[in-house]
Amino acid sequence: MLLSGITKLTLLDFPEKTACIVFTAGCNFRCGYCHNPEFVLPERLKEIEKGFIPEDVFFRFLERRKGLLQGVVITGGEPTLHPDLEDFIGKIRALGYAVKLDTNGNRPDVLRHLIENGLVQYVAMDFKTSFDRYPTLSGLGASAAAVEESFHLLKEGTLPYEFRTTLVREIHTEEVLAAMRQSLEGASRYFLQPFRNEIVLDPKFETMSAFSEAEMASLAEYFSDAVEEIGIREE
């Protein structure tokens, strides 16, 4: 497993658990507003690969944190790209930690396998835009059908989960938001995140804009009737 970074403690990313965050390298999406391009683009990964964290170093860290941490958040990049993800999670679970997986949803077969085998205890999935707009926003590696399959796998299942969207004024039009709201009907948890244009993958997003704080609150109200729990979270 290519581990590109660790956050040693988070009280926010894994609901009701103290956790660490481990970042995997590489992604199959090319979302223009991505704020971690160094974990996504192959040429940027080469620049930082000497600083990657060996698995044994990470597991020694987990050994030392037994009794202090309850969970591990695996994020990226996109973790489901890695063929050794199941083995990696299995080692974490063997140490007694719960696992939260962050995913873009583009590999539903991997997600289903992890859920059915009890390897993950919580999933956060990006719901970036209406399904028909996915290739436009996230690049040719994004399959709208695959993302929609993962979306319904979570929405209709029993595993605790959340969907989350980074809102960009120029991308999330009234039409797009209406389609997303319809898809979300009956979902359990949904979080809105404000767009930040300081660090982006595609330079054209540097000129795009965020919704104001008041507009974000209004959008949360707009989605509140569709989902059981709605929130606004800093990205």
What pLDDT does residue 3 have?
A: 92
Q: What is the dihedral of CA 29, 232, 13, 137, to 10 degrees?
A: 0
Single out the residue of 89, 122, 152 nearest to residue 13, CA to CA: 122
Check pLDDT > 70 for residue 170: yes
d(C-alpha 134, C-alpha 144), whole Å: 6
R_g over Cα of the chain: 17
- Report the amino acid identity of residue 107: R
- The pLDDT of 136-149, averaged and rounded, is 95
- What confidence score (pLDDT) does residue 39 get? 76
Q: Categorize the per-residue pLDDT at 51 as very low, low, confident or very high, splitting at 50, 70 and 90.
A: confident
| Residue 131 contacts residue 148 (beta carbons within 8 Å) | yes
Q: Does 183 or 45 have the greater pLDDT score?
A: 183
Considering the chain, what is the average pLDDT of its residues? Answer: 95
pLDDT value at 6 more than 80: yes
Q: Which residue has the tokens 């595993």?
A: 159
Confidence of residue 179 (pLDDT cuts 50, 70, 90): very high
- pLDDT value of residue 234: 78
pLDDT at residue 48, rounded to an integer = 80
Phi, psi dihedrals of residue 29, rounded to the nearest 5°: -105, 160
pLDDT of residue 45 exceeding 90, the answer is no
Pairwise pLDDT comparison (4 vs 183), residue with the higher score: 183
**Separation of alpha carbons 137 and 144, rounded Å:** 11
CA–CA gap between residue 202 and residue 200 (Å, rounded): 6
pLDDT: which is higher, 52 or 224: 224
Cα distances (angstroms) measured from residue 30 to each of 14, 27, 78, 206, 235 = 25, 8, 11, 15, 18
Percent of the chain with pLDDT over 90: 86
- d(CA 40, CA 25) in angstroms, rounded, equals 7
Interatomic CA distance for residues 135 and 130, integer angstroms: 10
Q: Which pLDDT does position 235 carry in this prediction?
A: 60
Reported confidence tier of residue 84, pLDDT bands at 50, 70, 90: very high
Q: Which CATH class for the 3-232 domain?
A: alpha beta
The residues that bridge with 229 in the sheet, in sequence order, are: 189
Contact 96, 66 (CB under 8 A): yes
**Using an 8 Å Cβ cutoff, are 45 and 39 in contact?**
yes
Instruction: List the one residue out of 84, 90, 71, 83 whose CA is nearest residue 22.
Output: 71
For residues 204 and 105, give the distance between their C-alpha atoms in angstroms, rounded to a whole number. Answer: 25
| Closest of 56, 47, 40 to residue 1, by C-alpha | 56
